Amino acid sequence: MPARTIPVDDFDLILFGATGDLAKRKIIPSLFRRFVAGQAPESAQLIGAARSDLSDDEFRKLVREALEEFVPAGLREKGQVDAFAANCAYVAIDAKGDGGWKELCKKVRPGVIHAFYFSVGPALFRDLATRLKANGLTEGEARLVVEKPFGHDLASAKELNDHLAESFREDQIYRIDHFLGKETVQNLMAIRFANVLFEPLWNERYVDHVQITVAEELGVEGRGGYYDKSGAMRDMVQNHLMQLLCLTAMEPPTRFEPDMLRDEKLKVIRALDPVEPEHVVRGQYKAGPDGASYREDAEAPDSTTESFVAMKVGISNWRWAHTPFYLRTGKRMAKRHSEIVIQFKDAPHSIFERDNGARPNALVIRLQPDEGIDLAVTVKEPGPGGMRLTTAPLDMTFADALGEDAMPDAYERLIMDVIRGNQTLFMRGDEVEAAWKWTDPIIDAWEGQRPHQYAQGSSGPEEAMMLVHADGRRWRDLGDGE
Ligand code: BG6
């Protein structure tokens, strides 16, 4: 069943940082796939902009190489690659000087949408935005896309917001959190708000607790310079896990419209309790048979940066007053496995024998791998052996219905949303600031502390297990489908 595509209006995407890793790995392949799907018009142009002195043809070669490496062979034909590359151009740009700007102005086509994509460090945001404005490029249908990290703390995020506001209006700014482009994350909203089954139960009366896990198998993969200054809290929790928490916990917006949705997310962030230090566990992976330690990977011999964090979060509002949210994320864990688990309470009274095998319901929203949704329900064990109960999953794995390769990458969806002018799945400035405001004191409290060590390929430090055990609960095993 091919996904429906609604073509977008003609556009030029001007990609700053076009020779960088993210551009090659995600942005260029995603744009190509939308082009092949017929969603991006044939005339749409990709203009790469970076410091290197490349010709148009050299950039096209880079584009071809990126497609070869990051788009499965079955999803690209030579003719399509040729056609896509023919619409690519390049400008060597000086973010801090005049070099390249006149040329850029000549290359962008008048009368089409202009999406300026900053896939560069935030230190360049202000310079680039100011020069875009000075060259008259922020007028009309101009949009700005910015990548994370959006600041390092509240003060720096505010500063970035102020700097961007000098050149762009808020309704032109698209702050990317690629987790919001993941199919399952959007499905979470469909599940909640387009079915009558779940929403009546989606509160502290029926939900015992919520678990949000984003476990990665990879380590810091050559990004030690960046990662060691961030750690799991800034790299993952302040943005990705926070967004997952917000979408899980928020009230239904009146309509699926950008500000209505973002208002509801913001209310959740503002209702988060401050986190007690004893409700946070930090970890750092140690050397193991399969690889070097975090400190070696990050080339930071004395580092106290966390590559794992687990925490218990409370939300002080009517819906969630007594339902804890447990979050955990880490690198070099047992599996690449991300999910949101809505763990329901026990049935109020059991008419069956004790120890009959009944388990409370759990709704598992799997982000990766095998994106899908799974509802654990208790049923009778088949056979004549009396009323024995067992848990059976009602499983909806999206790839079964759509085919693994057909699953769009988060970036495909998000880039098309930028062109369409739809900010629903992008973070608003006040939302980012509120998230930092909540995160900052947690990080400040770690001053001088060393993270717990954990074994590679594990579920994180023992202390993270204890955090949940202390409440008489346990984490779902990573990926064992239990
Ligand atoms: C990025 C983080 O934002 O998300 C990385 O900087 C992390 O450290 C990545 O690995 C995870 O994204 P995904 O889509 O691969 O799960």
* Segment 236-289, tens digit of pLDDT: 999 999 999 999 999 999 999 999 999 999 999 999 999 999 999 999 999 988
Percent with pLDDT over 90 in the chain: 83
What is the mean predicted confidence (pLDDT) over 123-130? 97
Is residue 480 predicted with pLDDT exceeding 90? Answer: no
What would the DSSP string read from start to end of 382-428? SSSSSS-EEEEEEEEEHHHHH-GGGSPPHHHHHHHHHHHT--TTSB-
Res 481: pLDDT? 37
Rounded to the nearest whole angstrom, what is the distance from the C-alpha of residue 110 to the centroid of ligand 1? Answer: 36
Is residue 400 predicted with pLDDT exceeding 80? Answer: no
Kindly report the protein residue whose alpha carbon is nearest to atom 8 of ligand 1: 235
- Identify the residues whose C-beta falls under 6 Å from ligand 1: 148, 178, 216, 235
Contacts for 184 with CB less than 8 Å, ≥ 6 apart: 365, 366, 367, 371, 372, 373, 398
Rounded to the nearest whole angstrom, what is the distance from the C-alpha of residue 150 to the centroid of ligand 1? Answer: 14
Task: State the Cα–Cα distance between residues 152 and 149, nearest whole angstrom.
Answer: 7
Q: Which residues does the annotation mark as catalytic?
A: 240
Q: What is the pLDDT confidence band of residue 399, given thresholds at 50, 70 and 90?
A: low
Q: Which one of 217-226, 373-382, 461-470 scores highest in mean pLDDT? A: 461-470
Q: Which of 119, 179, 213, 214 to mutate to test the pocket of ligand 1 (most atoms within 8 A of CB)?
A: 179
Is residue 460 predicted with pLDDT exceeding 90? Answer: yes
Q: At residue 154, what is the residue type?
A: L
Whether the Cβ atoms of residue 315 and residue 199 lie closer than 8 Å to each other? no
What is the mean predicted confidence (pLDDT) over 364-385? 87
Q: What is the pLDDT confidence band of residue 381, given thresholds at 50, 70 and 90?
A: confident
Beta pairing partners, 375:
363, 394
Q: What is the pLDDT confidence band of residue 392, given thresholds at 50, 70 and 90?
A: confident
Is residue 428 predicted with pLDDT exceeding 60? Answer: yes
What is the mean predicted confidence (pLDDT) over 177-183? 93
What are the structure tokens assigned to 58, written together? 């050299």
What would the DSSP string read from start to end of 70-88? HS-GGG--HHHHHHHHHTE
